[in-house]
Amino acid sequence: MDHPIEFFSEDVEFELNNPEQVAEWIASIVARHGQDLSNLTYIFCSDDYLHEINVEYLDHDTLTDIITFNNADEDGIIEGDVFISIDRVRDNAQDHGTAFEDELHRVIIHGVLHLLGFKDKTEAQEALMRKEEDSSLSLRKF
């Protein structure tokens, strides 16, 4: 099944494993939350690339694993660009003792959850975000 989800890499040599299955999983999470998927683009990049975006667009001079831009102009529609640093994901997986692919999937779905309205600025929001991430990860069929 085709979904309006695309995966690209910028500034890194990276290719997502099982892109069709990952897209199906993402689409199922969006549907589970009762929203419509319009267009979702993932850009896998380096720390340097994402740091430049963080400084230029968000005025944050820090490294991060993900930046999500919501491009939807109406409620209930999921449309956005999700930039993910492969360097950060790799380091975080090692720091947390998890497999790279599991950490990557957590970050991938984290971006979707932001587009679905979940936040992670407070401890309570962060706890709910982690619960939703875990729930979403448990639904992977690959």
Q: Is 60 annotated as a binding residue?
A: no
pLDDT for residue 38 is more than 80? yes
- Over the stretch 103-120, which tens digit does the pLDDT of each residue have? 999 999 999 999 999 999
pLDDT for residue 45 is more than 80? yes
Mean pLDDT computed over 116-139:
97
Find where tokens 């040599």 sit.
13
The fraction of the chain above a pLDDT of 90, given in percent, is: 95
- DSSP states along 24-68: HHHHHHHHHTT-EEEEEEEEEE-HHHHHHHHHHHH---S--SEEE
Mean pLDDT computed over 42-51:
98
**pTM, full prediction:** 0.95
Q: Where are the domains of the chain?
A: 5-138
Mean pLDDT computed over 18-47:
97
Q: Is 120 annotated as a binding residue?
A: yes
Q: Is 96 annotated as a binding residue?
A: no
Other beta carbons within 10 Å of 105:
21
* Residues facing 83 on adjacent strands: 43, 67
Sheet holding 66-70, edge to edge: 5-10, 36-45, 77-85, 66-70
Query: Hey, what are 18's tokens?
Result: 């099982």
Residues 6+ apart with CB under 8 A from 107: 65, 66, 84, 89
Return the CATH superfamily for domain 5-138: Metalloproteases ("zincins"), catalytic domain (3.40.390.30)
- Over the stretch 49-97, which tens digit does the pLDDT of each residue have? 999 999 999 999 999 999 999 999 888 999 999 999 999 999 999 999 9
pLDDT for residue 20 is more than 90? yes
